[in-house]
Amino acid sequence: MDEIKDGVIGLWEKDTDFLIEWADDLPTLDMQNEKRYYYNQGSSKDCTLYSAFGALSDLMDYELTKEDIEEIVAKSYEMWRTHWQWWYTASWVDCVCKRWNAKHPDNPVAYYRVNLRDDDLIDKIISKNYALCVSYSGNYNYNYDYVVDDVLNGDTFGKSTYGHAVSIIKRDGKKCIKDNYYPRKNSKGVDTNIYEVEPLFSTLRAHGVYHSSWYLIVKVNNEERLAELKRLNTFKQDVEAAIELNSKMWHETNSQEFRNDLHNTNEKLRAKLKDIATEMNKFSL
């Protein structure tokens, strides 16, 4: 990869990403003024970064300065030149959060991966006024569709010609995409920077138009709680890996006695997974 491609090129999901699976205890953001932050992405290459800028600003009710943005963009490009995987959704969100925390150590943030396939979880999160960073595969047909009437009416658009990162929010009770531009009007005077995707959201997801994982940025009010969540998540992954390995050995061995031992061990490990889930719920957001 000898040049920076336009837009997001993939998710690059990492095992170290904490996969959030609940939102009941997630505090609702106070947005009485219903203000959403827009940043006009400086380049077609920077959409993933600007998606995170908007989500972070919505969360903190804080408008990033030109200097803030230029510093983070410069750091991101520097990282890309030494790490090929930097042009992925997770990397950009991680960079924005780390740069924020370096400048605001008394008001830190963290990010979590959200499974797009869980409609109920996504609805709970955005109903509490959070903006979720998301990427999708688009083309001319996609662009033309939503600009006409401020609603994405189609559910499939043919071969993708670009990848783009935006954020999803809830407005007037409906799922909407918030793009990375200052508000712009179509011929009818409608703001096309935010467009509705509620009618066909599940179908768009099923057709792969929207990518499988989204990212949530949250305030961190208790560093010990965050550390415990990360520890439990790592433990959970290790237990799941052990169960998978034992199952593999169960099929490979000819010893019935060894199979019984493996079966009993996996029963204990599955019980441990339930214990871990209970502990994780105690530290829910």
Encode pLDDT of 202-231 as tens digits. Answer: 777 777 787 777 888 988 765 666 677 778
Quote the domain boundaries for residue 242: 226-282
pLDDT at 260: 95
> Is 276 inside any structural domain?
yes
Q: Residue 44 pLDDT more than 60?
A: yes
Residues 134 and 235 in one domain: no
Tokens 């230029």, residue? 70
Using a cut of 0.95, tell me whether the model's pTM lies above it: no
Contact 232, 279 (CB under 8 A): yes
- Cβ-contact 93, 52 below 8 angstroms: yes
- Candidates 148, 153, 113, 156; CA nearest to 11 is 113
Domain harbouring 40, CATH code: 3.90.70
Domain boundary among 195, 221, 247: 221
The DSSP bridge partners found for residue 210 are 136
- Per the listing, tokens 């979720």 go with 132
Q: Which of the listed residues 203, 221, 239 is the one where a domain comes to its end?
A: 221
Q: What pLDDT does residue 225 have? A: 66
Do 75 and 46 share a structural domain? Answer: yes
Mean pLDDT of 68-89: 71
Residue from 97, 112, 17 nearest 56 by CA: 97
pLDDT of residue 218: 87
97, 53 in Cβ contact below 8 A? no
Higher-confidence residue of 258 and 78: namely 258
Say yes or no: 149 and 29 in one domain: yes
What is the rounded distance in angstroms from the CA atom of residue 81 to the CA atom of residue 83? 6
pLDDT score of 177 more than 80: yes
Average pLDDT over residues 150-166: 76
- Assess if residue 13 is contained within a domain: no
Last residue of a domain, one of 221, 246, 262: 221
Number of domains in the chain: 2
Minimum mean pLDDT among 22-26, 36-40, 74-78, 200-204: which range? Answer: 22-26
* Identity of the highest mean pLDDT range in 163-167, 193-197, 254-258, 272-276: 254-258
Between 268 and 112, name the one with better pLDDT.
268
Residue 88 falls within a domain, yes or no?
A: yes
Q: Could you tell me whether strands 109-115 and 162-171 are parallel, antiparallel, or unpaired per DSSP bridges?
A: unpaired
Query: Is the confidence at residue 57, as pLDDT, over 70?
Result: yes
186 and 86 share one domain: yes
Q: Is residue 55 part of a domain?
A: yes
Same domain, 23 and 55: yes
Mean pLDDT score of the chain, rounded to an integer?
Answer: 78
Residues 77 and 146 in one domain: yes
Kindly tell me if the per-residue pLDDT of 69 is higher than 60.
yes
H-state helical runs in the chain: 47-60, 66-80, 89-103, 119-127, 140-149, 201-206, 223-252, 256-282
Are 123 and 230 part of one and the same domain? Answer: no
- Please list, residue by residue across 155-191, b when 16 or more beta carbons sit within 10 angstroms of its beta carbon and e when fewer do: bebeeeebbbbbbbbbeeeebbbbbbeeeeeeeeebe
Give pLDDT, residue 174. 87
Asked if 39 and 147 sit in the same domain, the reply is: yes
* Same domain for 232 and 211: no
Q: Name the residue with higher pLDDT: 199 or 129.
A: 129
Q: Same domain, yes or no, for 72 and 39? A: yes
Burial 103-141 (b: 16+ CB within 10 A, else e): eeeeebbbbbbbebeeeebbeebbeebbbbbbbbbbeee
The more confident residue out of 72 and 279 is: 72
**Do 117 and 172 reside in the same domain of the chain?**
yes
The token pair at 166 is 């935006």
